[in-house]
Amino acid sequence: MTALLSVIGLGKKFGGLQAVQDLDLTLNEGEILGLIGPNGAGKSTVFNLINGVFPPDAGRALLEGREITGEPPYRVARYGLARAHQIVQPLLGMSVLDNCTVGACFGRENLPLHRAREVAREVAQGVGLGDRLDTLASTLTTAGKKRLELARALSARPRVLLLDEVLAGLNPTESERMVHTLRRIRESGIAILMIEHIMRAVMSLSDRIVVLNLGRKLAEGTPQEIANNPEVIAAYLGDPQRMPEAEGVE
Amino acid sequence: MWRRAFPWVIASAALLYALFPYVTNDVQLRESLLLAAVYIILASNLNLVIGYAGYVNFGNIVFFGLGGYICLYLVNDLQWPVILAALAGAAGVSALALVFGLGILRLRGAFFALATIGVNAAIAQLVTNFEPWGGATGIYLAIDAYEPLGGPMQALWTIYLLIVGLMAASLLASYAIRNSKFGLGLIAIGENENAAAVLGVPTPLYKALIYSASAFLPAMAGGLYFFKSGIIEPGGAFSLRTSIEAIVMVMLGGSGTVIGPALGAFLYEESRGYLLTAEAFSHFQLVIAGTLLLMIVTFVPGGLLGFVHRWWPRTRRWLE
């Protein structure tokens, strides 16, 4: 397997706070890599550093072997990396279809408008927004906005997808549908790096998991290894006896 | 079907607009319509920046004024034909806007708005102290400047037709941009610039391009308009008041739509004509404009067209 996304020695400081330090990540083709850790561990910052929302102080990021360190977000998107935000950022005054068309137009394939509209329609239908194409994004429910966030990212036809808590705030049925959708995305060959707090989902979806604590990598391994790692349990998962309860939280 | 017909509707409307005073041979009507056409050009191009990209350009009049100065200078001192001079002015102002745009469009919200006022004020000061352009007294055209157009009387008609042409071009450009990939990117920027960038919209480039594009036709209109007046001076060319009125027009008709700003400009200009001649209102005209803006942004932020779209959602599909 070849690495689609590699992160080497990534670091970022905000004032006196070392948000991310010396972080290495590798995301392989057709893989789902889970990124977990307590609140404030620096997970979303890692995403911001990778897709260029702000430049890192140290380290590099490579997408398909191409240097993307410090490139602005719109160029990183063009190279084939798409992102769904934790706090959804729909283009409120635009329809679902137009939202996705923006993703398709300016994504990896840089499509002309009419082709982009076809791709957008296809993708929106794929994630279950097919009957909402002309709806204004502002009138969607929370679950709908989460789906839109995902559809927009997928419309770019990316190689790598960064997903920031796409399951948060969904009820069990919606969450199950979303997990199903994510599996299908992986099967289509897109590599996924996902931040998630819902342990049941992240354990069952991920091929590997990286645990972040205080900006550093605490552990890395298969879901099984992570679940049994004493350090991870102490820092994040909590007492194994109380695991079933902890799952329900968030 | 209407969507495909739109360019033809605009072209026909412009043709009627151009012919009406010609057929009736009504000079007074022509002057009133010419002023309205100028405002439609200003509002329609301002809308590209405000309505599409979501950036409030308070100093938009600087394009008009500077275009006027360059044109009159070329006509008066270098004896250029007026159309060529107006085109050169437009190209120059557009290029300048591109350079300025790459700088000040890094600012957002109120800071950008303030910077645009600053640009207008700075250029006005510069021109006021620029002796080749007549300093504070400005440039007066010699009467024989109109000879190439067949004398002053004929020139007025020619300028009128040219300005109506620019008006039609403004609307068609606005329509073409709104229905292009470029326009989609701009509207995404207007909705949420950070999200647009993450989706891949090259935000700095697009913003600078639309800022520059929005300068071209107003600058050309400025050239023709001040050529018609025969005089240009800093106070009239860089009037912040006109800048603000243009914003009122865009908001009144509906920012972000194609015909909204034109509708707003026409209504505003024609009703102002009435208010100015009505004794009771003539001193309150700006007060009325200010109150109007306040009421629009508070109660109908979408303007006239936004109001129509809200109550008749089906019109959203074809009435742009």
Written as six digits, the tokens of B171 are 């609307």
B203–chain A Cβ distance below 8 A for any pair: yes
**C-beta atoms of A85 and B185 within 8 A:** no
CB contact B257 to A (< 8 Å): no
Compute CA distances B109 → A161, A220, B53, B246, B297, whole Å. 31, 43, 12, 18, 16
Domain segments of chain B as ranges: 2-317
Q: Spell out which residues of chain A touch residue B185, defining contact as CB-CB under 8 Å.
A: 102, 105-106
Which helix (DSSP H) or strand (DSSP E) does residue B183 occupy?
helix B181-191
CB-based contacts of A171: which residues, under 8 Å, 6+ apart?
Answer: A143
Q: Do A107 and B200 touch (CB under 8 A)?
A: yes
Q: Same domain for A150 and A224?
A: no
pLDDT in tens, B300-316: 888 888 888 888 888 87
Q: B260: which residues sit within 8 A by CB, 6+ positions away?
A: B47, B51, B250, B253, B254, B303, B304, B305, B306
Query: Chain B residue with minimal CA distance to A93?
Result: B191
Degrees to nearest 5, angle at CA B181 with A147 and B98: 120
Instruction: Verify that A191 and A142 share a domain, yes or no.
Output: no
Residue B317 binned pLDDT confidence (cut-offs 50, 70, 90): confident
Query: Percentage of chain B surpassing pLDDT 90?
Result: 71
pLDDT given at position B312: 85
* Whole-angstrom distance, CA of residue B210 vs CA of residue B188: 13
The mean per-residue pLDDT over the stretch B100-107 comes to 89
Residues A174 and A145 in one domain: no
Interface with A, mutate which of B191, B192, B193, B198 (most A CBs under 10 A): B198
* pLDDT range class, residue A248, cuts 50, 70, 90: very low
Contacts of A93 in chain B (CB under 8 A): 187, 191
Residue B180, chain A, CB below 8 Å: the answer is yes
The reply to whether A235 falls in a domain is yes
Share above pLDDT 90 across residues of chain A, in percent, rounded to a whole number? 73
Q: A163 lies in a domain?
A: yes
| CA distances, A214 to each of A52, A55, A73, A201, B17 (Å) | 21, 19, 25, 23, 68
A140, A158, A176: which is the final residue of a domain?
A158
Of A169, A165, A125, the closest CA to residue A148 belongs to: A125
Structure-token pair, residue A24: 């290495």
Is A227 inside a domain boundary?
Answer: yes
pLDDT of residue A239: 59
A142 and A172 assigned to the same domain:
no
Residue A250 lies in a domain: yes
Say yes or no to pLDDT of A104 above 90. yes
If you measure CA to CA, which chain A residue comes closest to B190? A91
**Same domain, yes or no: A116 and A32:** no
Cβ B272 vs Cβ B285: under 8 Å: yes
- Are residues A244 and A121 part of one domain? no
Hey, are the CB atoms on A51 and B198 less than 8 Å from each other? yes
Q: Do B201 and A74 make contact, defined as CB atoms within 8 angstroms?
A: yes
CATH code for position A240: 3.40.50.300
Question: What are A108-146's pLDDT values in tens digits?
Answer: 999 999 999 999 999 999 888 999 999 999 999 988 999
Q: Which chain B residue shows the shortest CA-CA distance from A152?
A: B199
Is pLDDT above 90 for A5? yes
For chain A, which residues lie within 8 Å of any Cβ of chain B, measuring from their own Cβ?
51, 53, 72-75, 77-78, 82-83, 85, 89-94, 98, 101-103, 105-107, 112-113, 116, 152, 156
Domain interval for residue A112: 81-158
The dihedral sign for the CA sequence A20, A23, A26, A32 = negative
What's the whole-model pTM score? 0.90
pLDDT interval class at B299 (50, 70, 90): confident
B191 CB neighbours in chain A (<8 A) are 91-94
In a domain, A109, yes or no: yes
Residue type for A101, please?
T
Q: What pLDDT digit, counting tens, does each position of A27-65 carry?
A: 999 899 999 998 888 999 999 999 999 999 999 999 999
Is the domain of A48 the same as that of A93?
no
Fold of the CATH domain B2-317: ABC transporter involved in vitamin B12 uptake, BtuC (1.10.3470)
Q: How many domains does chain A have?
A: 2
**pLDDT tens track for B121-167:** 999 999 999 999 999 999 999 888 998 998 888 999 999 999 999 99
A76 lies in some domain: no
Would you say residue A164 lies in a domain?
yes
Specify if A207 maps to a domain.
yes
Cα separation values, A169 from A86, A95, A173, A204, A249, Å? 10, 22, 12, 19, 11
Question: Are A143 and A118 part of one and the same domain?
Answer: yes
The pLDDT of residue A250 is 39
Q: What pLDDT, on the 0 to 100 scale, is given for residue B272?
A: 79
> For position A249, what pLDDT does the model report?
42
Burial of B129 (0-12, 13-18, 19+ CB in 10 A): exposed
In the predicted model, is pLDDT for residue B90 greater than 50? yes
Q: Which residue of B has its CA nearest to A153?
A: B199
Contacts of A98 in chain B (CB under 8 A): 184, 187
Which residues in chain A have Cβ-Cβ distances shorter than 8 Å to B203? 74
pLDDT at A245: 47
Whether residues A217 and A241 fall in one domain: yes
Last residue of a domain, one of A158, A184, A209: A158
Q: Same domain for A16 and A87?
A: no
B interface mutation test: which of A91, A149, A152, A154 has the most B CBs within 10 A?
Answer: A91
User: Given A53, A98, A106, which is nearest B201 (Cβ)?
Assistant: A106
pLDDT 10s digits, B4-44:
788 899 999 999 999 999 888 888 999 999 999 999 999 99
Q: Judge if A30 and A104 occupy the same domain.
A: no
- Note whether A103 contacts B194, CB cutoff 8 Å: no
Minimal Cα distance from A109: which residue of B? B200
What number of other Cβ atoms are within 10 A of residue B157's Cβ? 16
Domain-terminating residue out of A158, A191, A216? A158
Q: Measured between CB atoms, does B195 come within 8 Å of chain A?
A: yes
Tens of pLDDT, residues B216-252 = 999 999 999 999 999 999 999 999 989 989 999 999 9
In the predicted model, is pLDDT for residue B275 greater than 80?
Answer: no
Domain identity same for A35 and A63: yes
